[in-house]
Structure 1
Amino acid sequence: MTFSIVARSAGPDPETASWGVAVASKFLAVGSAVPAAVAQVGAIATQAHANVAYKGLALAHLDEGATAEVALQRLLEEDEGRDHRQVGIVDVEGNAASHTGSACLDWAGSVTGDGYAIQGNILTGEEVVSAMEAAFLASDPEAPLAQRLLAALEAGDRAGGDSRGRQSAAVLVVREGAGYGGMDDIEVDLRVDDHATPVEELQRLLGLNDLYLTASTEEEKVPMTPELREELEGIARAAGHRDLEGWVGAENYEMRVAEDLSWVDRRILAIARGEEAAQ
């Protein structure tokens, strides 16, 4: 009842590697059941007649040093319902493993490669996972993992996706220190629980996530000169805020403006000046 991709994206520095899952289904709130991931540990998708206990168990096995294949074997050997399960796992090094139980409903199957596992069941056909793999491999390996996962999910959706239709989609990506304020590892955690075009809606939400919940890069930071500070203070007060700091907090721009107001993100500056919409 689901198609998903589990993947690792290393980037130029292994310390900044990301792990993630993207999933779509004709199932309410698929993001509540299928994905799980921990930075510097790995990621898993559990689906078909999903055993949600797999999430914690798999991550525990991976955290103890098991490879994706070993973690998968341990899950299956302890589960009498293994023939009804579908699972994809990627470990800390990017090794991938996938399982499709013999009792999963057609079409069901998977494909794995270096750093990714793609799987689906009750699909329109094998072309769904093939399209997802092609899109993932064609994506820029240095692009944010969430974008690459969504490219694969969109390709699977266009290829037919879930044979029963569309309802929900989700993307979860983790990276060390990537969370709000740098306090956890959640880089992206978005869900569309019930929607006519959930994958398309998920892409829209990812754009908002980038604006509000992603820290500015050094290239995006504009130094706050006295002149710029005066300009932004005027814009903030004209909009009804007490001052610039109040505007930042009220508009949820904490990840895009320095706490000490020493810099402002160039995109936030464009929004303030009315040169770009905030979506």
Structure 2
Amino acid sequence: MTFSIVARSGSAFGVAVASKFLAVGAVVPAVAAGAGAVATQAAANLRYRPQGLALLRTGVQPADAVAGLVAADPDRGHRQLGIVGREGPGATYTGEECMDWAGGTAGDGYAVQGNILTGPEVIDAMEAAWLSSPEAPFERRLLAALAAGDGAGGDRRGRQSAALYVASPGAGYGGGSDVACDLRVDDHPDPVGELGRLLDVHELLFGTPDPEALLELSGELEDEVRGLVAARGYASLDLWAGVENLENRLVPGKIDPVVLAQLRDGGAHDGIHDRARDGARDRAHGGA
């Protein structure tokens, strides 16, 4: 009922998953910074998530973790599982009683798996997309693999939900957690497309500025910004940005062009969602 990729990039681990199943993000993925990632699906065994991560934390290799989990499970014939650890290849398992088409593949730092798919082309497309973009940002690379599987046919029953979960040491909001990205589309006619829109919004709101793109906040630009902030009813740029959830993009004495664009648009919330929607539409039609 599901297709997923578990993968590693440097110190980051992630899972991207889609399914004709309500809120698949609440069931399939488990990720821990410094350990690895697990996807449990088909007749998902939720015990695999904490048990798999515990094994990875102790240094057990993904293939051995998979073998240990399924060996102790009397219903292993109905399970599907993907695991990636701190080093080496990922591992995938498909029980002999999973519904057709079901299968998976694995390589260095990744595993791809799916069941009740239109065919093996779904897995092939996901693997090819993953391998073709080694320099892409990790979240984008995971999403591209998921979108490739969706485009190749995906779940043969249809579409309903998708999720993207990524963890890396200290990558959470304000550095207070390891959760870099936890986005879920629980019930939607185009869940993978909607997941892409959410990732656009996430990057705009919680991304950090490109140091090379920062503008000096002085002279006419400083006057413009001061006037725009005042027109919005705020005493300072800091106060406006805090309300609009753009505080991660503030740099003393400078301004991120992303922040400036939202300020000129009249409000980050409307502007961000418009830009995210436009970006998702452009990608869907082959745009940049």
Equivalence for 1:13: none
Matched, 1:147 2:140: yes
Q: Is the contact between residue 238 and residue 247 of structure 2 (CA under 8 Å) also seen in structure 1?
A: no
TM-score (ref. length: structure 1): 0.91
What is aligned with 2:156? 163
**Does 2:181 match 1:197?**
no
**Structure 2 residue ranges without an equivalent (≥5):** 274-288
Query: Which residue does 1:34 correspond to in 2?
Result: 28
Deviation of 1:219 (Å): 2.7
Partner of 2:207: 214
Query: What letter is aligned with 2:263?
Result: A
Q: Would you say the 8 A contact 1:87–1:100 is kept in 2?
A: yes
Q: Provide the C-alpha distance between the structure 2 equivalents of 1:36 and 1:233, rounded to a whole number of angstroms.
A: 45
Root mean square deviation of aligned Cα: 1.7
1:118 to 2:109 alignment = no
- The match for 1:78 among 52, 59, 72 is 72
Looking at structure 1, the residues matched to 52 and 216 of structure 2 have their Cα atoms a distance apart, in angstroms, of: 45
Instruction: Report Cα offsets for 1:220-261 as digits up to 9, x if no partner.
Output: 433444664443222111012232221011110011113xx3
* 1:250 and 2:243 aligned: yes
Relative distance call for 1:71 and 1:225 in structure 2 (3 A) is farther
Q: Take 1:94 and 1:252, find their aligned partners in 2: how far apart are those partners?
A: 38
Distance 1:150 1:220 in 2: 26
CA distance in 1, matches of 2:207, 2:165: 14
Compute the displacement of 1:142 (Å): 2.2
1:246–1:105: structure 2 CA closer, same or farther, 3 Å change rule? same
Would you say the 8 A contact 2:238–2:250 is kept in 1? no
2:59 to 55, 59, 65: 65
Residue segments in structure 1 that go unaligned for 5+ positions in a row: 11-16
Cα deviation for residue 41 of structure 1 reads: 1.0
How many aligned positions are there? 270
The residue number in structure 1 matching 2:81 is 87
Shift of 1:122: 0.5
Specify whether residues 144 and 35 from structure 1 end up closer, same or farther in structure 2 by C-alpha distance, changes over 3 A only: same
TM-superposed CA distance for 1:101, in Å, is 0.5
CA distance in 1 between counterparts of 2:45 and 2:77 reads: 11
1:175 corresponds to which residue? 168
2:263 paired with 1:272: yes
Residue of structure 1 equivalent to 2:38: 44
Q: Report the TM-score, using the length of structure 2 for normalisation.
A: 0.89
Contact 2:89 2:106 in 1 (8 A): no
| Structure 1 residue matching 2:164: 3-state secondary structure | strand
Using a 3 Å threshold, how does the CA distance of structure 1 residues 219 and 18 change in structure 2: closer, same or farther? farther
Q: Secondary structure at the match of 1:273?
A: helix
Which residue identity does 1:64 align to in structure 2?
T
Q: Distance in 1 between matches of 2:220 and 2:33?
A: 41
Q: 1:94 Cα shift?
A: 4.3
Aligned to 1:136: 130
Give secondary structure in 1 for the equivalent of 2:197: helix
- Residue aligned with 1:267, SS: helix
CA distance in 2: counterparts of 1:182 and 1:218, whole angstroms: 19
Q: Match of 1:190, SS?
A: strand
Are residues 72 and 165 of structure 1, via their aligned partners in 2, closer, same or farther at CA, if it must alter by over 3 Å? same
Give 1 or 2: higher helix fraction: 2
